[in-house]
Structure 1
Amino acid sequence: MKARLLVILLLTASTTVSALTLAPPKNAGDSLIGNPPAQAKYVTAKQEDTLIDIAVNQLIGQDEIVLANPQVDRWLPGEGTQVRIPSTFLLPNAPRQGVIVNLPEMRIYFYADAGKVIIHSIGIGREDDWKTPLGKTSITGKTKNPSWTPPKSIIAEHLADGDVLKPYYPPGPNNPLGLFAFRLGIPGYLIHSTNKTNGVGMRVSHGCIRMYPSDIEQFFPLIKAGTPVNIVNQPIKVGWHHDTLYMEVYPALEETPASYEERLHSALKLLEQANAGKMPVINSALLQNSLKNPTGIPVALYQRPAYAQNNAQSAENDQAVLDSRTN
């Protein structure tokens, strides 16, 4: 068997996981966090699993797991199939404080104590009249065991589809807001739990941001009223890890479509900005493939020459040591 570049962490799909709490980048100018780039995390699918089952069990989003596994059937991965779980991330291009919500990747980043970054998958508003708004706001309040009085507009929409909503939902497990909710400074919008976990990682809400029940239960005591929230639209992220420049790509939001040429222009501009205003000599084939087939997985596009040379020299030294031991 050929040596693999990836270190595979094999888990069963039934393993219960918790939110990702990751150390900040070691270098001030870096943006990549999580597993080392040469490592990837996988789970082993069971016969009865779908990708959606695995996503819910791993507390990641539906679209997220599908993007990361383009060759795996969504509904029938097959027993023994290795399913990739995203575990390496580029931080959004935004001030590293409070809560950052990047809508295209459907994730929350929370900058906690000691610079640690807590990441959660989320569901967001639909692409019609119920989009999740962009912009800077804050947490204006938090409620445990919230009740819900559906707005008339939502009642009317459900009624048109033959679904009758109650005029009032008391606190409890059957409440669509779940057991925890944060109120945003944007009137009418919340970050809340959900009793429909299959909707996390999809655009199914009326504009609110949905979290897994176990995620928001951990999240709730960490967030104080007044915490800043920055909701951004960044389908292409670029950033460094040591001397390697990475790019992470997601499909554009439906309401802000972009042609391949427009996405290429945006990516090249971001790469140039990240490299102190100079366009690096990048791997163009990887760049094009990442833009045409986004996976949400950071891809290395460029290494500073000194770093690449040191890596090559290190590999040569390792091989020399190995040769001396086998002669």
Structure 2
Amino acid sequence: MTTSRVTRRLMLGATGLALSAPSLLLAKQSARPSVNRHNIMGFSTHDWQDHFDTLGKASIIADTSSRALHFWSGDGKTYKVYPTSVPRSDELTKRGFTTIVRKRVGPDWTPTPSMIEENPDLKYMPPGPHNPLGTHAMYLGWPAYLIHGTHDQRKIGRQSSSGCIGLYNRMIAELYEAAPVGTQVRII
């Protein structure tokens, strides 16, 4: 008569192997070149040529579905990707082509009429640690739409804005220095 002995150590080892199998499979699959340019988290890469005829002064693509901003310098030597916050809903999302028309360090903030309608307690806010625009703002050619920083780091990677594209303060400071007024922007 043969008896099988299932020990706690054997059960823990088998459980660990079962839990790690999907990760091992994904790692093996990611080592292969892929035609699909989306990873498991929904992030997608972009080529500026698919959106613009030239790089111009510089180019930005803000991808609201993958919550990432792609930046190319005008000479093509610099390419950066930044995680972003995006509008809370499609109704708040403006899509299309525009440009950066002005920039400001230490922006002040005035809520739009629709924001006040949604929350009557909102008031003008000077620059500072509670300002929703963070440390830097780049104003787009559409009224009330910006690419700006945020002091609330929980918003990045989420649908949390009233229409703007938000970045971590340290990242908007970097982008602010790299993207001149006149940078072409596409929000998709």
Q: TM-score, normalised by structure 1?
A: 0.42
Once residues 98 and 126 of structure 2 are traced to their aligned partners in structure 1, the CA distance between those partners, rounded to angstroms, is 28
Call closer, same or farther: CA 1:145–1:104 in 2, change over 3 Å.
Answer: same
2:116 to 152, 155, 176: 155
SS in 2 for 1:220: helix
Q: Which residue of 212, 216, 220 maps to 2:176?
A: 220
Corresponding residue of 1:120: 82
SS at match of 1:90: coil
SS in 2 for 1:129: helix
SS at 1:225 equivalent: coil
1:140 lines up with 2:101 in the alignment: yes
Deviates most, 109-118 or 214-223: 109-118
Tell me if 1:38 matches 2:11.
Answer: no
Which stretches of structure 1, 4 residues or more, deviate above 6 A after TM superposition? 4-7
Task: Summarize deviations over 1:185-236 as a string: whole Å, max 9, x none.
Answer: 111100011122111111121111111111111111111000100112xxxx
Root mean square deviation of aligned Cα: 2.9
What is the match of residue 175 of structure 1? 131
Q: 1:90 aligns with which of 45, 50, 58?
A: 45
C-alpha change, 1:5 and 1:187, in structure 2 (3 Å) is same
Q: Counterpart of 1:68 in 2: which secondary structure? A: coil
AA of the residue aligned to 1:205: S
Q: Which amino acid aligns with 1:94?
A: H
Greater relative CO (CA pairs within 8 A, separation 6+) = 2
- Superposed displacement of residue 171, structure 1: 0.8
Is the 2:138–2:148 Cα contact (8 Å) retained in structure 1? Answer: yes
List gaps (5 residues or longer) in structure 1. 8-36, 40-64, 70-85, 233-327
Q: CA deviation at 1:129?
A: 3.3
The structural deviation recorded for 1:114 is 4.1
Which residue among 157, 163, 168 is the counterpart of 1:207? 163
Aligned to 2:62: 101
Give the aligned partner of residue 229 of structure 1.
185
1:129 aligns with 2:91: yes
Per-residue deviation, 1:128: 5.3
Give the conservation status (yes or no) of the 8 Å contact 2:112–2:144. no
Q: Give the C-alpha shift of residue 115 in structure 1.
A: 3.2
How far apart in 2 are the matches of 1:202 and 1:104? 10
Question: Aligned equivalents of 2:147 and 2:45: distance in 1?
Answer: 23
Whether the 8 Å contact between 1:5 and 1:38 is mirrored in structure 2 is no
Q: Distance in 1 between matches of 2:68 and 2:156?
A: 10
TM-score normalized by structure 2? 0.71
Closer/same/farther in 2, CA of residues 128 and 137 from structure 1, 3 Å limit: closer
* Residue identity matched to 1:120: Y
Count of residue pairs the alignment pairs up: 153
Distance in 1, matches of 2:155 and 2:133, equals 13
